[in-house]
Amino acid sequence: MGHNILALATKNPNNIFVGIDPFINGVANLVHTCVEEKISNILLYPTPVEKFFQDFPKIICDQIYILFPDPWPKKKHHKRRLVKANFILAILDKLKTKGKIFFATDNQDYFEKVSIELKELISNKAPMKIIKKEPKYLENTKYFKRANKLGNKVQFLVIVKI
Ligand SMILES: C[S@@+](CC[C@H](N)C(=O)[O-])C[C@H]1O[C@@H](n2cnc3c(N)ncnc32)[C@H](O)[C@@H]1O
């Protein structure tokens, strides 16, 4: 539904925000809201994020938000998960120094696997650190509400490029 990017774009009118998700209904919904509310600092790219960075190799970001990526809860699908060591290194390369990556999930197994992979990357001298676990400034989006309704704890990771 784009609640978080809408809030970020509204609060920070001098910054440009790029929303990337191949789910076309969600993108269409956000385009509609941007037109209605005359929001002009959101760019939308309806493809997988990997393709976005291939298509725009020179883009460098201040912040990257990965909120509730598809959890693939079945074990046989875990290899399809987006956030893994190689992906983290690839997007770290797309961040400014001191730039941040925000990751949120209500899937405990996903959170634990990402935490372990991050610690391994850090111990192998990847240029990043984990600063805190609970950002206060994320919107209460559809998937935050869904997690609460299901009684799932939302877990956060905030990574800083050093
Ligand atoms: C559970 S929804 C969460 C949507 C949104 N991030 C939010 O928090 O409201 C998961 C989304 O991840 C998107 N997704 C899965 N793999 C992706 C990828 N490689 N690149 C971009 N988006 C992806 C799916 O299309 C889906 O819309």
pLDDT in tens, 15-70: 999 999 999 999 999 999 999 999 999 999 999 999 999 999 999 999 999 999 98
Q: Which atom of ligand 1 is nearest to the CA of 141?
A: 9
Q: Is the same domain home to 84 and 40?
A: no
What spacing in Å lies between the alpha carbon of 36 and ligand 1's midpoint?
24
Give pLDDT, residue 71: 75
Tell me the pairing of strands 95-105 and 42-45.
unpaired
Instruction: Please report how many Cα atoms fall inside a 13 Å half-sphere around the Cα of residue 84, on the Cβ side.
Output: 10
Q: Is the same domain home to 51 and 78?
A: no
Give pLDDT, residue 85: 95
Out of 59, 76, 107, pick the residue that ends a domain.
59
Q: Is the same domain home to 86 and 156?
A: yes
- Sign of the C-alpha dihedral computed for residues 28, 134, 157 and 131 taken in this order: positive
pLDDT in tens, 76-135: 888 889 999 999 999 999 999 999 999 999 999 999 999 999 999 999 999 999 997 666
Reading across the β-sheet that carries 128-132, which strands appear in turn?
Answer: 61-67, 95-105, 155-161, 128-132
Whether residue 156 contacts residue 134, with contact meaning beta carbons closer than 8 Å, is answered with yes
Give pLDDT, residue 16: 97
Q: Please work out whether the CB of residue 19 comes within 6 Å of at least one atom of ligand 1.
A: no
Q: Is the same domain home to 55 and 70?
A: no
Task: Identify the domain containing residue 46 by its residue range.
Answer: 1-59
Residue 1: which of 35, 28, 37, 40 has the closest Cα?
28
What is the rounded distance in angstroms from the CA atom of residue 70 to the CA atom of residue 156?
15
Whether residue 135 contacts residue 162, with contact meaning beta carbons closer than 8 Å, is answered with no
Whether residue 25 contacts residue 31, with contact meaning beta carbons closer than 8 Å, is answered with no
Q: Is the same domain home to 100 and 156?
A: yes
pTM for this structure?
0.94
Q: Please work out whether the CB of residue 141 comes within 6 Å of at least one atom of ligand 1.
A: yes
- Sign of the C-alpha dihedral computed for residues 22, 26, 32 and 35 taken in this order: negative
What is the rounded distance in angstroms from the CA atom of residue 111 to the CA atom of residue 107?
6
In this structure, what CATH number is given to the domain that contains residue 126?
Answer: 3.40.50.150
Q: Is the same domain home to 93 and 118?
A: yes
Q: Is the same domain home to 10 and 48?
A: yes
